[in-house]
Amino acid sequence: MQDTAGIFREICSRRSGVDTGVLEQVVELAVEIAREGREGRKIGTLFVVGDAEEVMRRSKPLILDPLAGHPAESKRISDPNLRETIKELSQLDGAFVVSDEGVVLSAARYLDTTSEDLDLPLGLGSRHMAAASVSRRTNAVAVVVSESSMVRMFDDGEIVSEIIPELWMWDGYSTKVEGRVSARSENDITVVTREEE
């Protein structure tokens, strides 16, 4: 993913209130999950980055939390061992909560959400609704991996970026990012970003 560091840094630096480096690492991991899937099948998952205390307050575990009780040092998003663990855990329902310090605090979280005041394009599922809701009601940024291999970033309840991990998917694709957008392709990845007005 080193070849795409510049393009990820650009979209992550536009998000205020979260650590850019941590968000970049989460986006890189999300793209890896979108590309690789798990055990031969595509999977979807959700990461919530920043404002972790409020996100934890607005969520609850779906199952016994597989990350609970482990020391923070072993739960850093930069740790290759944890990244492989997250890829395995991403097969479970629920969200990952990542602190601004880059510690994955929890996995398999149910986010208390509401669709009130959200206006998402048709065709997006409950994972996207949860991402939009948590990003609207907290100072966090949400990153969704779709089972269709698309990665979307939400900030303040809106899709602000889409990452298409394979160039062949870009042909004929209609973006869900609303407003004035720009697209940039680099190393088999296309990123569509809403332009700031």
Task: Summarize pLDDT for 62-87 with one digit per residue, the tens.
Answer: 999 999 999 999 999 999 999 999 99
Q: How far apart are CA 45 and CA 108, in angstroms?
A: 9
| Mean pLDDT along residues 35-41 | 85
CA distances from 194 to 151, 162, 163 (A): 14, 9, 12
Q: Where are the beta strands (DSSP E) in the chain?
A: 45-49, 59-61, 95-98, 104-111, 141-145, 151-155, 158-164, 181-186, 189-194
Tokens for 91, please give them. 């097969």
For the chain, which domains are there? 2-194 (3.40.1700.10)
What is this structure's pTM? 0.86
pLDDT tens by residue, 117-156: 888 888 888 999 999 999 999 999 999 999 888 999 999 9
Calculate the alpha carbon distances from 77 to 22, 48, 87, 177 in Å.
7, 13, 12, 27
